[in-house]
Chain A
């Protein structure tokens, strides 16, 4: 028997509200399954369970705000047999699912998790049509989400003329919801207008039925908060955490300018040969270099717990992502140093999308061991960050741009970036911090090896 408790999803979280249960009493759950959606002042988080078993009781109903640590559900362990094995595995992470990806394409669809089955049913996805990418070809929640996304994009099943699409967009009609009457089931303009007319009736609330807004609508029923109130709560949460950081952490700051000519040229060359969907962005290189530099200067990655530094062997780089409408959140890309650049780029794209849609996972919120913030897109030259407690370091990157550069007695112009480090003096000092930044700079000189 185990307790599933309201997790701490960041040092600034004191209370949370369950806005959705994805399991019911009697469901079998596996370590790593997403079982509930929790709303905090900063975001909406999908919460994973860390014990396999059967849900025996749900203790906190949807809509109730409870302190961190409150028992949300009771879980009965399944004893004996091979189902115990997951207990021994490390936290569920990408590498495990990558291993299974190759095998997945040739295997029959498999679903073990009731959560995934539930999601598929709720989204109207036929399990048999989904390719599993989990261990041994298992269909994961992510696969279902991709299937849902594919259904929604025009490259999915919906056939429609550009004109019908345009009318649909104007009227706010979701093409997936329509039964096409045109050739080969294509959605025609008339189909769209028929639904559009009913949508615009005054007694029908206008809707944009994509996954996010539908979910948001469901959640609204559980405990509505106005946008202004949400924004105020978000500012309070960020303010409280940053004030704590400035109060408790003796920051020191370093800055270095990195020659980015080789990295920029390499990136341009690689991208020129790639289809648009496979291209890399510079932030992927910067993240990878930072994650790898931790191997040289270990005291940049870990947590300060009760005045003691606990280094983290795994490097989960938190990526500061600005939220639309204001605020910032810094979820982790797990095992950043172990990912290839392509995988890292995919993970980054996916993370940004989910962060902005309010669908982050609890492990992503609690796991970052160091944070990277990149304000280069805004043209900022350098950013001196505030460390996220209980982490001990934050690396900032400004804009990669052509600047004057002196070498061998000659002045020229080449792309450069200013990297900064804010680090905790209780754990390291300027010398080690300097080594960390110079290691990042060094790694970026051989982008093909990143």
Chain B
């Protein structure tokens, strides 16, 4: 998986979780949950969506490693 593919998946999943949220609004190093106003339920659904799309089992302790767009994409690329 490339970085761009990872970001495409993130965008798809985010669209399902929070249809009005736009990944484009988030700066590369900004916290997605903060900028997009995702609560813990939204974030969990985002993680579940990424898991369903990629098969990656993301441990809860790793959630902070997926907080920004770039880190999340890098995590997916590294673990797929």
Which B residue sits closest to A268, measured CB to CB? B60
Chain A residues with CB under 8 A of B8: 162, 165-166, 169
The 8 Å CB contact of A165, one of B1, B12, B52, is B12
Which B residue sits closest to A275, measured CB to CB? B57
Bound-complex Cα distance A281 to B43 (A): 11
Task: Tell me how many residues of A have a C-beta within 8 Å of chain B.
Answer: 31
Bound-complex Cα distance A282 to B58 (A): 18
B47 within 8 A of A: yes
- A377 to B52, Cβ gap below 8 A? no
The 8 Å CB contact of B39, one of A166, A271, A276, A377, is A377
- A349 to B60, Cβ gap below 8 A? no
Known: A272-B59, A281-B40. A163 touches B52 (CB 8 A): no
Interface residues of B in 1-60 (CB under 8 A from A): 1, 4-5, 8-9, 11-12, 15-16, 18-20, 37, 39-41, 44-45, 47-48, 51-53, 57-60
Bound-complex Cα distance A162 to B50 (A): 13
- B20 to A348, Cβ gap below 8 A? no
A202 within 8 A of B: no
A154 within 8 A of B: yes
- B41 to A162, Cβ gap below 8 A? no
- Minimum Cβ distance to chain B for residue A155 (Å): 5
Known: A163-B5, A166-B5, A166-B8. A276 touches B40 (CB 8 A): no
- B41 to A325, Cβ gap below 8 A? no
A324 within 8 A of B: yes
- Minimum Cβ distance to chain B for residue A118 (Å): 25
- A272 to B60, Cβ gap below 8 A? yes
A352 within 8 A of B: yes
A136 within 8 A of B: no
Q: List 8 A-B contacts (CB under 8 A).
A: A162-B1, A166-B12, A169-B11, A169-B12, A276-B47, A324-B18, A324-B20, A324-B37
Known: A276-B58, A325-B20. 20 other contacts (CB 8 A): A153-B52, A155-B52, A162-B1, A166-B9, A166-B12, A169-B8, A272-B61, A275-B57, A276-B48, A276-B51, A277-B52, A281-B40, A281-B41, A282-B40, A283-B40, A324-B20, A348-B41, A353-B45, A377-B39, A377-B40
